[in-house]
């Protein structure tokens, strides 16, 4: 008789309660690590209100309210009776408003019918994966990046994570992308980048777009995306959901504007959630190559990922008011930027005083790349540093491991949408005090470097 296998303590292993009950994909799914860290921060803040919570990529309505015109527009739409089902791919007025918005603000020529409205950016991202990726297809992303690992798992792709470097603002070089295009079905790129708050450079994005065109021509596709290639085309999923939030002198670039020939192979994903502080309104969209719009829209329809009709009506009216949109973009960018610059300058001031911290200058989004260079000096992992910051400095942040980056390098994400500007000064003071206590505990020689 074969003895049952035992664990390292001589005990029989606990049976997997999911075995045989759910699919392998469901059984292997894990909750979002960012949300787990954020919940811990919220619980800590409930015990100690001085905790500075820089974890979640959301907005505190007390500090960041949706534009008054958008709020009033939703109320008016409800009063007008816009409470029934919308078309699965969005009401025509909003599709036209998005297309006009892109033509006006990005210089991107978009047909109304190429816009597919959905309940935020997530369904658009998921539908892009489901439209183009079969199990076993090769997919590519560049880490750190938000949530890509979960999408790759759900779609059972042969996913390749490509490492990036801080000196390149955590974006790949053109040659690094070019090396991974051969055989790839989907490439994911996000700018401004979550978690780093950095923006891809013009020459890098143009080079990536040109490489995408070259690869699809090599596969036998016509320059306009038509015909029938020898193998499926390579698609670029361009997530630009933070593009309206960026520094005053920072320019946002779009691949199909820089290299129009790449447009047949690009899916643009966007939403009102970030610049308009409207995360809970759930209005997003994808701009899809016309040849695949029908199956893409059908996926959104069968998922039931429809943005509420009243919110769609109000968003269409708001986006069709250029001055309101631009005023909101300026105001939100200034308010977010003030918080990011305060953090960045505080961290750089500590660095000049010899403390082992660093940050990349803020460029876009609501995030700051923040490094605590203490690996090997009392800490072995980013998770240990994260917990220490929460405990000793009252500072809640997210390690880059939550964004598929495995290196224990001390890099963490700060998000500023849920903090008041007045909270940041005391938080920086606590951070400096905690660093000095830790280094003093290691000995004075640990402070250099």
**Does the pLDDT of residue 122 top 60, yes or no?**
yes
Length reported for the chain = 449
- Are 180 and 154 in a shared domain? yes
Secondary structure (3-state) at 159:
strand
Closest C-alpha to 149, from 279, 300, 28, 283: 28
**DSSP state string for 355-423:** -SEEEPPP-BTTEEEEEE--BTTTBSSHHHHHHHIIIII-EE-EEGGGGT----S-EEEEE-TTS-HHH
* Residue 448: per-residue pLDDT: 40
**Does the pLDDT of residue 249 top 90, yes or no?**
no
For the chain, the domain total comes to: 2
CA distance 37 to 412: 12
Last residue of a domain, one of 321, 338, 367: 321
CA distance 89 to 270: 15
CA distances from 179 to 4, 212, 223, 264, 267 (A): 48, 11, 21, 21, 21
Q: What is the pLDDT of residues 400-424, one digit of tens each?
A: 999 999 999 999 999 999 999 999 9
**Does residue 116 lie within any of the structural domains?**
yes
More confident residue, 11 or 239: 239
Tell me if the pTM is above 0.75. Answer: yes
**Does residue 227 lie within any of the structural domains?**
yes
* Residue 2: per-residue pLDDT: 38
Last residue of a domain, one of 321, 356, 387: 321
**Does residue 176 lie within any of the structural domains?**
yes
Q: What is the mean pLDDT of the chain?
A: 92
CA pseudo-torsion sign 251, 400, 235, 92: negative
Q: Residue 95 in contact with residue 290, Cβ under 8 Å?
A: no
- Are 167 and 281 in a shared domain? yes
**Does the pLDDT of residue 99 top 90, yes or no?**
yes
Q: How confident is the model at residue 18 (pLDDT cuts 50, 70, 90)?
A: low
**Does the pLDDT of residue 168 top 80, yes or no?**
yes
- CATH code of 304's domain: 3.40.640.10
- Are 140 and 198 in a shared domain? yes
* Residue 230: per-residue pLDDT: 87
- Are 313 and 335 in a shared domain? no
- Are 300 and 400 in a shared domain? no
DSSP state of 246: B
Cis ω for the linkage preceding 192 (within 30 of 0): yes
Last residue of a domain, one of 321, 336, 351: 321
- CATH code of 422's domain: 3.90.1150.10
* Residue 427: per-residue pLDDT: 97
Residue 203 is part of which domain span? 68-321
- Are 203 and 153 in a shared domain? yes
More confident residue, 321 or 291: 321
Q: What is the pLDDT of residues 346-397, one digit of tens each?
A: 999 999 999 999 999 999 999 999 999 999 999 999 999 999 999 999 999 9
CA distance 275 to 332: 6
């Amino acid at each position: 008789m074969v003895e049952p296998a035992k664990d390292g303590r001589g005990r029989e292993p606990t049976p997997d309660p999911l075995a045989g009950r759910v699919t392998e994909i469901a059984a292997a799914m894990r909750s979002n690590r960012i949300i787990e860290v954020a919940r811990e921060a919220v619980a800590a803040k409930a015990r100690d209100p001085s905790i500075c919570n820089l974890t979640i990529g959301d907005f505190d309505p007390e500090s960041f309210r949706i534009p008054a015109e958008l709020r009033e527009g939703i109320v008016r739409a409800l009063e007008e009776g816009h409470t029934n089902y919308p078309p699965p791919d969005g009401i025509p007025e909003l599709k036209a408003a998005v297309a006009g918005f892109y033509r006006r603000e990005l210089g991107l020529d978009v047909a109304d019918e190429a816009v597919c409205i959905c309940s935020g950016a997530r369904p658009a991202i998921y539908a892009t994966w489901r439209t183009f990726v079969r199990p076993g297809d090769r997919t590519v992303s560049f880490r750190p990046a938000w949530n890509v690992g979960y999408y790759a798992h759900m779609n059972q792709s042969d996913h390749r994570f490509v490492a990036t470097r801080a000196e390149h603002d955590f974006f790949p070089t053109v040659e690094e992308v070019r090396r991974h295009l051969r055989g790839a079905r989907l490439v994911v790129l996000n700018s401004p980048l979550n978690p780093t708050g950095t923006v891809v450079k013009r020459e890098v994005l143009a080079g990536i777009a040109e490489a995408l065109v070259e690869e699809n021509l090599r596969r036998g596709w016509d320059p306009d995306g038509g015909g029938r290639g020898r193998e499926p085309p390579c698609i670029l999923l361009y997530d630009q959901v933070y593009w309206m939030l960026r520094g005053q002198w920072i320019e946002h670039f779009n691949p199909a504007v820089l290299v129009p020939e790449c447009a047949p192979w690009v899916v643009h994903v966007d939403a009102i959630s970030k610049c308009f502080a409207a995360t809970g309104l759930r209005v997003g969209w994808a701009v899809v190559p016309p040849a695949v719009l029908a199956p893409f829209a059908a996926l959104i329809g069968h998922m039931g990922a429809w943005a509420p009709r009243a919110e769609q009506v109000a968003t269409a009216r708001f986006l069709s008011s250029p001055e309101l949109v631009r005023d909101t973009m300026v105001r939100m960018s200034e308010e977010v930027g003030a918080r990011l610059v305060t953090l960045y300058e505080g961290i750089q001031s500590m660095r000049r005083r010899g403390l082992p911290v660093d940050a990349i200058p803020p460029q876009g989004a609501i995030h700051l790349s923040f490094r605590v260079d203490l690996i090997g000096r009392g800490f072995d992992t980013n998770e240990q540093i994260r917990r220490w910051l929460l405990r000793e400095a009252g500072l809640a942040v997210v390690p880059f491991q939550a964004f598929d980056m495995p290196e224990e390098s001390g890099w963490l994400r700060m998000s500023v949408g849920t903090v008041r500007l007045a909270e940041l000064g005391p938080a920086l003071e606590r951070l400096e005090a905690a660093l000095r206590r830790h280094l003093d505990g290691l000995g004075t020689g640990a402070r250099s470097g």
